[in-house]
Amino acid sequence: MDELPSIHNHLPPGWSLLTGDLGRFSVYGSVALFAVSALAWYFAKKNPRLEKVGAWTFVLACMGIGATFLSLAILFVGNRFEYEYVWGHSDLANTVPYRIAGIWSGQEGSFLLWALCAAVFGVVVATGAGIYRRWFTIVYALFLGAVTAILAYESPFKMILANGQPTTPVDGVGLSPALQNYWVIIHPPTIFLGFGSLTALFAMAVAAMVVRNYTDWTAIVRPWAIVSLTLVGVGLCMGGFWAYETLGWGGFWMWDPVENTSFVPWCITAALVHGIIVQGTRKKWHFSNLMMAGLPFITFVYGTFLTRSGFLSDASVHSFAEMDRSALKLLIGVMAASTLGFLILWIARLVKDAKSLASDEVVKGPHREGFYRTGSLLLMGMGVATMIGMSVPMFMALAGKPAKVVEERLYHLVLPWIFIPLIIVMAIAPFASWKGEKNKDLAKKVYSVLCVTIGLTGFLMMAIALSPMSKIADLRQPIGFPGGFQINNLPWVMFLTGLCVFTIVANVWRMVEVSNAKKIGWSPFVTHVGVAVLLAGLIISRGFERHEQAMVMENHPDGMMNYQIRYAGMTSDTSDRDNEVKFEIVDPHDDNRVLYTATPGFYYAKGGDGSESPMVWPHIQRFAMHDVYFALQPPQSQVSEPLTLKPGETKMVGGMKIKFLKMTQEGEPVMPGP
């Protein structure tokens, strides 16, 4: 930097400069060691003594990534603002947990976290890779070498210079206001561990294809596939709660491109877990599983490119700043090499070896493998449809049009037709046998479950009708379908919820049936129940939500949802990041009794250039059957277009209702005021 972003205090201490140098040299050293490891393992076939060289250099390179991360953590905890990245993502007001969270709050740090998490899985999985270790490590070393090389360009150790000398600003810019939530401390490490584990699935699939042993790798990769599915899934849930508590959009999910970047790999990994079961039980799906092991990593790299390339800068609430051009070229190279290399190798092995692995077994009637196949294809279809949707902003940008995300309603028009058969398969598949059976016999098994489901869904509808939710929720909101067809909200939401209940009942039923069996565990059924409960909650929450807006000013309350909203002041002033605006929620039908006080947050955040922007976060009042979500709109300082009103006329402007009451006059026209 040529100019200081703020007043400097003093030259940085020697230990800070030494720590930054350690971080920089660790990056360069790791790149070199990964290259040595890949070369050593490649030539180890002719010279087995090189295996130890390849193994130790790989471990040392991964330790180098750890040293880089530790160096940056020391700088953040010590508030060393002479480093641009620390200055831009921390400040003196941050507590230690938030200083540490600043490490992964920006572009450079998130790449470092990705590399670190992938390195952890690389070291752990490689030790048990067996005959696949050589090519597993080669692939892994090449990938980590490329990501670490990106950090050489997108370095978090660049310093702030004044007259060519490092200097320390008095304070930093701090975390982005949207990140100042406890979820920033636990959500990114969790989901990036999931993303890092996807590299192990990809590298193991490539190694299996190179070695041409398509059988033994599934036993090695199965526990790691389950770990990946769990970590990415838990990370997705954490991200949903974070968005709900911070962003003010009123829900857990908005089909934002960055949300979808996590969701797509999760769908494919879920299909892989089921595919591994089929291969272990029926000795089938060899090449399908290889493809499903590689795609989660490939789709995540593509999503990373999408969010870091600048295509989503004006279209997503999550997008990062545009990358350094050289670093972006490296990322594109990783994406192209991994995608094209994997597909070419997969097609070559499929053409050469598919016939030798083909099975002549014919199973009559519905059978579990058929349900697994259908479910896996539906999961893959949901992932592909979502990936197409998240790519639309890039397609628009390439066509010279303003980037715009696909609206939520369009996802809801398409994806339910994949969700409906998928949730039905989750309910019926546990009752089907591997050897096949008659349709009539399977129908008998499912009939009792269906009857219980209808009864429980009916009770659920009664509970909703008799609960306070019926007075608050918008049960008659029209739901649009392709072709312009519409139905009321209630029957559609209850139909989708009933399908989730069907899956819950079916899997609990099977848990009871197999409770005495020694070879069958509960874990698949518990997982299906958990997914169905989560989906039912999301469907009810989103389907029955009701939106209303009120214009509240001091001494001018407004009504909303049969309540009166009264402004009651602020806890501080708008320069305080902890400032909250107090609103009393009053029941006008109960002698104006104050039910509770809502305290959404509002303050003006200062940017690095000294500009101010309004920041808000919601208040959530939780009840047994529903939440009241109270979100502020940022203050409107001006109206972009002139507004003409007649006396008594009302118009909506920017979500605000404006009514011309009357004109008043004090004093005589054209006379100076007091």
pLDDT tens per residue across span 470-505: 667 777 777 777 777 778 778 888 899 999 999 999
Q: Tokens 């209702």 correspond to what residue?
A: 657
Q: Tell me, what's the pLDDT at 330? A: 87
Q: Higher model confidence: residue 561 or residue 281?
A: 281
pLDDT digit string, tens, across residues 178-192: 778 888 999 999 999
* 3-class DSSP assignment, residue 420: helix
C-alpha span between 111 and 97 (Å, rounded): 20
State phi, psi for 613 to the nearest 5 degrees. -135, 140
Residue 277 pLDDT exceeds 90: yes
Residue 2 pLDDT exceeds 70: no
Residue 556 pLDDT exceeds 70: yes
Q: Higher model confidence: residue 665 or residue 623?
A: 623
Q: Would you say 571 and 619 are in contact if contact means Cβ atoms under 8 Å apart?
A: no
Residue 27 pLDDT exceeds 90: yes
Confidence of residue 636 (pLDDT cuts 50, 70, 90): low
Q: Tokens 């008043």 correspond to what residue?
A: 664
Residue 643 pLDDT exceeds 80: no
Sequence-ordered list of residues with C-beta below 8 angstroms from that of 134, at least 6 positions apart, any chain = 41, 44, 45, 51, 54, 207
pLDDT digit string, tens, across residues 403-429: 778 888 888 889 999 999 999 999 999
Q: Tell me, what's the pLDDT at 647? A: 79
Residue 309, Cβ neighbours under 10 Å: how many?
A: 18
CA distance to 58, 282, 405, per residue, from 524 (Å):
36, 18, 35
For residue 587, which amino acid is it?
A: D
For residue 398, which amino acid is it?
A: L
Side-chain half-sphere CA neighbours of 609 within 13 A: 2
* Residue (of 608, 609, 596, 526) closest to 564 by Cα position: 596
* 3-class DSSP assignment, residue 598: strand
Residue 385 pLDDT exceeds 50: yes
C-alpha span between 94 and 41 (Å, rounded): 45
Output helix, strand, coil percentages for the chain, rounded to the nearest 5. Answer: 60, 10, 30
Q: How far is CA 302 from the centre of its chain?
A: 14
Q: Higher model confidence: residue 560 or residue 472?
A: 560
Q: Tell me, what's the pLDDT at 559? A: 84
Least reliable range by pLDDT among 39-53, 367-381, 584-598: 584-598
Least reliable range by pLDDT among 291-300, 351-360, 499-508: 351-360
C-alpha span between 402 and 393 (Å, rounded): 8
Confidence of residue 666 (pLDDT cuts 50, 70, 90): low
C-alpha span between 365 and 432 (Å, rounded): 10
Confidence of residue 588 (pLDDT cuts 50, 70, 90): confident
pLDDT digit string, tens, across residues 130-153: 999 999 999 999 999 999 999 998
Residue 570 pLDDT exceeds 70: yes
Residue 297, Cβ neighbours under 10 Å: how many?
A: 29
Predicted model pTM: 0.88
Q: Tell me, what's the pLDDT at 552? A: 85
Region 277-289 average pLDDT: 93
Q: Higher model confidence: residue 648 or residue 435?
A: 435
C-alpha span between 552 and 323 (Å, rounded): 42
Residue 674 pLDDT exceeds 70: no
Q: Would you say 426 and 354 are in contact if contact means Cβ atoms under 8 Å apart?
A: no
Residue 8 pLDDT exceeds 70: no
Beta bridge partners of 488: 478
C-alpha span between 131 and 627 (Å, rounded): 54
- What tokens appear for 531 in the block? 């997914």
Burial bucket for residue 392 (CB in 10 Å: 0-12, 13-18, 19+): middle
Burial bucket for residue 360 (CB in 10 Å: 0-12, 13-18, 19+): exposed
Q: Tell me, what's the pLDDT at 4? A: 47
* Farthest-apart Cα atoms in the chain, separation: 103
Q: Tell me, what's the pLDDT at 520? A: 58
Confidence of residue 637 (pLDDT cuts 50, 70, 90): low
Q: Tell me, what's the pLDDT at 322? A: 60
pLDDT digit string, tens, across residues 526-555: 999 999 999 999 988 888 888 888 888 888
Q: Would you say 39 and 88 are in contact if contact means Cβ atoms under 8 Å apart?
A: no
State phi, psi for 134 to the nearest 5 degrees. -60, -55
Q: Tell me, what's the pLDDT at 665? A: 67
Q: How far is CA 207 from the centre of its chain?
A: 29
Length of the chain: 674
Q: Tell me, what's the pLDDT at 628? A: 87
Confidence of residue 3 (pLDDT cuts 50, 70, 90): very low
State phi, psi for 346 to the nearest 5 degrees. -65, -45
Q: Tell me, what's the pLDDT at 610? A: 67
